[in-house]
Amino acid sequence: MDAWFYELSPSKSLTEKLERGELSMNVYTELYQKEMSTSQSISNIKWIKDYSRRIDVVLLCYEPENSNKCHRHILKQIIEQS
């Protein structure tokens, strides 16, 4: 692993609400995107995007790849759209 950006993980409270079924995936996505709008997150997202132009990037999560609850798919979209 070359880099680990804790700031790009969803907050514990957001993750727990999703796991308890208190949020729809649409609401979770909106709230996660809002969490990714901090200056530190934006800086890390830019770094990943720039780095990925030279070297393959793999986004990791404890959720299985095919899980519909995994934030890395949302993060990938954020990176691509930045």
Domain locations in the chain as residue ranges: 6-81
Residues 41 and 8: their CA atoms lie apart, in Å, by 6
* pLDDT tops 70 at residue 36: yes
Q: Tell me: the pLDDT tens digits for 38-74?
A: 999 999 999 999 999 999 999 988 887 777 778 999 9
pTM: 0.89
Q: How long, in residues, is the chain?
A: 82
